[in-house]
Structure 1
Amino acid sequence: MQNNSNLDESELVYGHHSVMELLKSPTANQRVNKVLVQKGLTSEHIGEVVKIAKRDRLIVQDVPKSKLDSITDGGNHQGMAAYIAPYKYAELEDIFKSAEAKGTDPFILILDKIEDPHNLGSILRTADAVGVDGIIIPKHRSSGLTSVVAKTSTGAIEHVPVVRVTNLVNTINDLKKRNVWIFGTAMEGDNYREWNAKGAIALVIGNEGKGVSPLVQKQVDQTLNIPMVGHVQSLNASVATGILLYQAYASRNA
């Protein structure tokens, strides 16, 4: 097991679902530095976590509830947390390998400067639910894979490859060379309910406030629109992503 004495260089994951998904992941032995459980707290969930951690010879430490409250900033830790090495990003090729392993066409999500880690975590959760093969994010002005993202994703971060790239436009052009059709969102786009999402596709979701950047928008093959009749003509980024991903899922599995 990797034992990193400088825990300031580690990420923190807490809560039953997040810790369990972490411990069940194939890379747990390489990434988990220490598992913390609340002293004096006995529950089926605590026993399950301790059993798996000890089976895999991970360090398990009993700590007071006040310690868990402090390191999670009062979060709902459910009596458990784990320090882990920073999340490792995937390579673009891993996305295509994921699709090939499932025998399906690549289903890719591109996030153009999503800054809120809670949005990224929620998007990861939905992406896992609908079978997205991988997510592509830019290195700059974008949320990375943090403990907040991990917690919000409730374990999905362990199952959806995330690729971080220097230039989204260049990456989109690489995808096009591999016959991936690029979709984006725009007010004047086609109704999303008529979206044919079959084949190798990538969906671009823009920044929470500014939307898809102009240079990226120019690379999109087709734009989609989510009709709205209310007074507020915009949706939270993770909500819009969820609507579009489930439409894509329905189209691809019709």
Structure 2
Amino acid sequence: MAGTQRRPGAVRKAGSKKGAQVGTGGHGRRALQGKGPTPKAEDREYHPAFKKKQAAEKRASGQRQQGAARGVVRGTRRSTDGVEVIAGRNSVLEALRTDVPITALYVATRLDHDDRTREILQQASSAGLPLLEVTKPELDRLTDGQVHQGVAAQVPPYDYRDVDDLLDAAEASGRPPLIVALDGVTDPRNLGAILRSAGAFGAHGVLVPERRSAGVTASAWKVSAGAAAHVPVARATNLARALGELKKAGCFVVGLDGGGDQQVGELSLATDPLVVVVGSEGKGMGRLVRDTCDVIASIPIDSTAVESLNAGVATSIALYEIAKSRR
């Protein structure tokens, strides 16, 4: 019908039809690109995993701060301040009995007590030591995986002396200086045994080089049986140079070696100011240190099955013979 073509609803307004547009394919590709890979749950701020991650980081930060306040770095055996940790019931008990300067005692929660732990707690209480109760995982980290049996003790860094301090100690005693110098002794247990012998036979101190040498660690404290608190230990940057300075101060330097010129028991310089140099069991003394010695002395060994003595035993025998001659 002709009338129907003029109905207002059937009339399309000019420009209302959407025709093809330039770049419509590009619009479609942009719509399909998306927003990239989905972030992890712990990286999405609205997700519960994100809140758990933040809480864990906050706890870890607080634990590190507490460890720093105690002088101990988590996950390591010693702190940046040189603090050492003694682990194990027997070791801690022996350290308490021998007056090792313990600064803190760590005990695991829900510890199964025995006679050793009871004595440890009793001595720690009598000495007024800080007692810290920690979890087993924390104690594992503190002792760096050692067998701690639920008990550990913190030992402060050792205060090393100078060579002049050893001479001052000898002058204060009114006796000729007797100093032990170690060349290449790297086992702290040997150092501890030498400190114990030095204290027993009247030595005025022990001299060690800064590098390639054992220091006064927790192991040395323990083996010394408290002697480390009474026998000063000096450190030298260059051992040969330090021996030269002691010679200028009037000391004779005697090196211990299997092929010596004299036997230790017959040492003619025993009553004079003396420095006894002990080398490592394997290599002995270094060339420069050996050249500094005035005399090379030996300890006679009867058995052919044993070629040499370790540094701790050799030092003990030599100091005993010297002390006997001085008496």
TM-score (norm: length of structure 2): 0.65
1:202 counterpart = 2:278: no
Identity of matched residues, %? 34
| SS across alignment from 1:108 | strand
CA distance in 2, matches of 1:83, 1:11: 6
Q: What whole-Å deviation, never above 9, does each CA across 1:210-232 have from its counterpart, x for those lacking one?
A: 11111111111111111123223
CA distance in 1, matches of 2:120, 2:205: 30
Query: Which 10-residue stretch deviates more, 184-193 or 8-17?
Result: 8-17
C-alpha displacement of 1:151: 1.9
Does the 8 Å CA contact 2:92/2:120 hold for their aligned counterparts? no
Match of residue 182 from structure 1: 253
Amino acid across the alignment from 1:36? Y
1:239 counterpart = 2:313: yes
Query: Which 10-residue stretch deviates more, 244-253 or 38-47?
Result: 38-47
**Equivalent of residue 220 in structure 2, options 149, 153, 161:** 149
CA distance in 2, matches of 1:16, 1:99: 33
Change (3 A) 1:185 1:59: same
C-alpha displacement of 1:80: 5.3
Does the 8 Å CA contact 1:134/1:161 hold for their aligned counterparts? yes
Change (3 A) 1:65 1:19: farther
Q: What whole-Å deviation, never above 9, does each CA across 1:185-220 have from its counterpart, x for those lacking one?
A: 231320211124113111000122111111111111
Match of residue 263 from structure 2: 191
CA distance in 2, matches of 1:80, 1:128: 29
Change (3 A) 1:145 1:89: same
Does the 8 Å CA contact 2:261/2:298 hold for their aligned counterparts? yes
CA distance in 2, matches of 1:121, 1:154: 8
Does the 8 Å CA contact 1:109/1:203 hold for their aligned counterparts? yes
Match of residue 36 from structure 1: 106
Amino acid across the alignment from 1:122? A
CA distance in 2, matches of 1:188, 1:5: 46
Does the 8 Å CA contact 2:280/2:310 hold for their aligned counterparts? no
1:98 counterpart = 2:169: yes
1:4 counterpart = 2:76: no
Give the unaligned 5+ runs of structure 1.
Answer: none
**Structure with greater contact order relative to length (CA < 8 Å, sep ≥ 6):** 1
Match of residue 216 from structure 1: 289
CA distance in 2, matches of 1:243, 1:65: 43
CA distance in 2, matches of 1:106, 1:43: 43
Amino acid across the alignment from 2:301? M
C-alpha displacement of 1:250: 0.9
Does the 8 Å CA contact 1:19/1:81 hold for their aligned counterparts? no
Give the unaligned 5+ runs of structure 2.
Answer: 1-68
TM-score (norm: length of structure 1): 0.82
Change (3 A) 1:222 1:146: same
Q: What whole-Å deviation, never above 9, does each CA across 1:90-128 have from its counterpart, x for those lacking one?
A: 121221222233222211000011012221121111111
Change (3 A) 1:64 1:6: closer
| SS across alignment from 1:218 | helix
C-alpha displacement of 1:49: 2.4
Does the 8 Å CA contact 1:21/1:158 hold for their aligned counterparts? no
Change (3 A) 1:87 1:174: same
1:74 counterpart = 2:147: yes
CA distance in 1, matches of 2:136, 2:322: 44
Change (3 A) 1:20 1:93: farther
Match of residue 112 from structure 1: 183
Change (3 A) 1:248 1:63: farther
Bigger radius of gyration among the two: 2
CA distance in 1, matches of 2:183, 2:166: 18
Does the 8 Å CA contact 2:176/2:273 hold for their aligned counterparts? yes
Number of corresponding residues: 239
